[in-house]
């Protein structure tokens, strides 16, 4: 094992299992949880079932990494320093490579390989029940109205396994401004955004405007690359991936007798697909930390369309939890948190982390990270 000196940082990622239909074929369940035999002793996974050798707990795929049982040093009511930041960004190399490789793009179905986006030659039609239909290049729209915001895109249902989530500084044109240029006829109630391959997902017009959607053409200051479709993408904060239409070429407002039902992250009444739960990444597991040396854990917490109001930590197997509020956090961005703990005695420890959302939902499966102090 490697001896560590001084303050150390390890990453524990707390994320939501968000079933977004546009990310991959339906019914894949990919949230990964790691735990030891000792941590699981005497515990039953809720609503567990085994299908083709894979265990699911409440619809969440559970892959258990079983380790040698070692006596764990319990610490009741763990205390430490906590802070969070919703503006921590995912680096572009991770966005363009990891997300592009995993799902051939972010939050939408795969597209054919394309070159880089050229806003000067990308045309968008705006029409339907509007006062004046028009066609404009993306560059022309951006000149009239453009803004940058930090937004989140979550995608857990992907063939690569594990949650995929990005927090990025995106630049785009407000959908409301694009529609306003055409003028909405009285009674118009449905919006349909269509890609160059014909993909379209109708939605209530009022919902799109309330969500303050953006037609995004840059991520972290770079034009949308080939890995992400090389075309403008509709970003709908706190919305399902089916609304994240890529390579947008047509925006249409219409009057319909029946407004399409709103797609949400709720599978059925009382059953949420986007349960908050936690995975572990970026920790080799063989470091030895010094007694009295500060250890900083970090990761993100997210529950799709619900704000995370607290992150909780336990060092005694969940018997006691230390609660740290995330006041002011919203659902449009992840909660990237930092927790610094200073061990006072040698031993083997297990840190458990879970999140609490604004509706009171607590992570049904906490993240467990074992570490050694000597």
pLDDT (tens digit, 9 = 90+) per residue, 123-160?
999 999 999 999 999 999 999 888 999 988 776 443 33
Tokens of 74: 């319990």
**Residue 205 or residue 56, greater confidence:** 205
Given this model, what pLDDT does residue 321 score?
A: 97
Domain architecture of the chain: domains with CATH: 2-27+66-88+268-373 (2.60.40.650), 94-254 (3.90.420.10)
Which contiguous run of DSSP H or E holds residue 298? Answer: strand 295-301
Check residues 14 and 357 and name the one with the higher pLDDT.
357
- Residue whose pair of structure tokens reads 């785009």 in the numeric block: 172
Cα 340 to Cα 82, 207, 237, 279, 313: the distances in Å are: 7, 41, 31, 19, 11
Percentage of residues of the chain with pLDDT beyond 70: 66
CB-based contact 208:234 (threshold 8 Å) = no
Tokens of 197: 């391959």
SS (H, E, C) 184-202: ECCCCCEEEEEECCCCECC
Model pLDDT, residue 179: 95
The single residue listed with the structure tokens 């992907």 is: 158
Give the span between the Cα atoms of 46 and 44, in whole angstroms. 6
CB under 8 Å to 292, separation ≥6 — which residues?
342, 343, 344
363 pLDDT band (50/70/90 cuts)?
confident
- pLDDT band for 71, please (50, 70, 90 cuts): confident
* Distance from C-alpha of 133 to C-alpha of 364, rounded to nearest angstrom: 50
Buried b (16+ CB within 10 A) or exposed e, 183-192: ebeeebbbbb
With tokens 């619809």, the residue in question is 59
C-alpha 19/C-alpha 266 separation (Å) is 9
pLDDT tens digits for 304-337? 778 899 999 999 999 999 999 999 999 889 898 9
Closest CA to 8 of 278, 282, 280, 277: 282
Strands 123-128 and 134-137, sheet pairing: antiparallel
Distance between the two ends of the chain, CA-based, in angstroms?
11
Provide φ and ψ at 14, rounded to 5°: -105, 115
Confidence of residue 280 (pLDDT cuts 50, 70, 90): very low
User: Distance between CA 105 and CA 229 in Å, rounded?
Assistant: 7
354/173 Cα distance (integer angstroms): 36
Radius of gyration of the chain (CA): 23
Look at the block and give the residue holding tokens 């610490």.
Answer: 75
User: How far apart, in whole angstroms, are the C-alpha atoms of residue 374 and residue 371?
Assistant: 10
The whole-number pLDDT of residue 40 equals: 40
What pLDDT sits at residue 155?
Answer: 61
Q: Distance between CA atoms of 268 and 14, rounded to whole angstroms?
A: 24
Residue 165's pLDDT is what? 76
pTM above 0.75, yes or no: no
Residue 282 has pLDDT above 60, yes or no: no
């Amino acid at each position: 094992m490697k001896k560590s000196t001084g303050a150390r940082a390890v990453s524990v990622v707390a994320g939501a299992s968000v079933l977004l239909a546009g990310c991959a074929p339906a019914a894949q369940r990919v949230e990964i949880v790691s735990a030891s035999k000792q941590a699981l002793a005497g515990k039953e996974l809720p609503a567990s079932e085994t299908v083709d050798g894979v265990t699911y707990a409440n619809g969440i795929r559970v892959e258990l990494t079983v380790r040698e049982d070692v006596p764990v040093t319990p610490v009741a009511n763990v205390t430490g320093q906590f802070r969070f930041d919703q503006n921590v960004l995912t680096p572009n190399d991770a966005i363009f490579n990891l997300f592009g490789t995993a799902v051939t793009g972010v939050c939408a179905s795969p597209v054919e390989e394309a070159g880089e986006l050229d806003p000067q030659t990308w045309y968008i039609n705006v029409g339907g029940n509007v006062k004046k239909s028009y066609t404009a290049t993306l560059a022309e729209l951006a000149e009239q109205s453009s803004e940058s915001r930090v937004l989140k895109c979550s995608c857990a249902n992907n063939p690569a396994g594990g949650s995929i989530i990005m927090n990025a500084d995106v630049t785009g044109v407000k959908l409301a401004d694009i529609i306003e240029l055409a003028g909405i006829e009285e009674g118009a109630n449905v919006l349909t955004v269509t890609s160059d391959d014909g993909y379209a997902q109708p939605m209530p017009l009022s919902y799109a405007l309330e969500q303050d959607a953006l037609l995004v053409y840059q991520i972290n200051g770079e034009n949308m690359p080939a890995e992400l479709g090389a075309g403008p993408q509709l970003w709908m904060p706190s919305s399902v991936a089916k609304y994240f239409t890529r390579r947008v070429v047509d925006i249409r407002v219409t009057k319909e007798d029946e407004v399409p039902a709103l797609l949400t992250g709720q599978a059925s009444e009382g059953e949420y697909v986007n349960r908050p739960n936690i995975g572990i990444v970026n920790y080799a597991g063989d470091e030895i930390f010094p007694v009295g040396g500060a250890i900083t854990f970090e990761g993100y917490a997210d529950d799709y369309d619900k704000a995370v109001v607290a992150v909780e930590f336990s060092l005694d197997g969940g018997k006691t939890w230390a609660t740290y509020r995330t006041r002011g956090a919203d659902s449009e961005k992840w909660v990237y948190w930092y927790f610094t703990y200073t061990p006072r005695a040698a031993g083997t420890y297990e840190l458990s982390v879970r999140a609490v959302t604004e509706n009171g939902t607590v992570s049904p499966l906490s993240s467990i990270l074992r570490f050694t102090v000597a």
